Structure 1
Amino acid sequence: MYETLITSLSPSVSHSLRTLTFYFALSFFLHLVTMSGIQQAMSLLIASFHKYSGKEGDKFTLSKIELKELLEAELGEMLGKASDKSAVDRIFKDLDSNKDNTVDFKEYVTLVSCLTVMCNDFFIKK
């Protein structure tokens, strides 16, 4: 889609956009490379949350449907039955600590933290 748009522009504008896109991508890559592992992990957690939040309203929270999508796409192998409605309902209820019927970023990070601790415990015992 974007390629078609760029090629439909005049050659000089098209070249400028391609150059700008290249430099933006290069700048982002270099920034990512210079980030520590923890900073990269934090960036990925934030990006993953916002990839799914706001599709159904508030862009700073996950609805039950958005949480289900996130669980299936990002943690499917790990959680197994994320597609099971009752399992998603239980996870959502447990995460929604303030009972506002959404999962905010802090509640989402709680899930990821707990899963990370469980993985660490599993690999330490091996």
Structure 2
Amino acid sequence: MDRFKARARALRSSQTSAEARLWYVLRGRRLLDWKFRRQQPIDRYVVDFVTFAGRLIVEVDGATHSSDGERQHDAKRSDVLTSLGFHILRVTNTDIYEDLPGVGEAILRELATDRFSPLPEGEVDGEAGG
């Protein structure tokens, strides 16, 4: 797992400008007190943003996600992460640049659904509820 932590650390230090803009909205519980983490290892993947309490992963898709190979990889990755109880919300760089408040609202809409039960307190990294 150390290799995934090292990769996550490297990704945090080289985030895209779109990820940096979204992180500004999500960090420090700025989005209605939801705690998000960025570039977080889960299973064998590193996800862009996650709130464990809300069981929501937010993935930022840039131009590289438009190839067939990347779409297949993303689908397999999504299957694994969904099987672990997460919901995945995909947003594009364009969404972030053109309508960042709308992206925040979409995230809040996803968190308002009752589709997913939060993990019991302390089960993941000691993080408690939203």
- Give the alignment's TM-score, normalised by structure 2: 0.24
Which structure carries more strand by proportion? 2
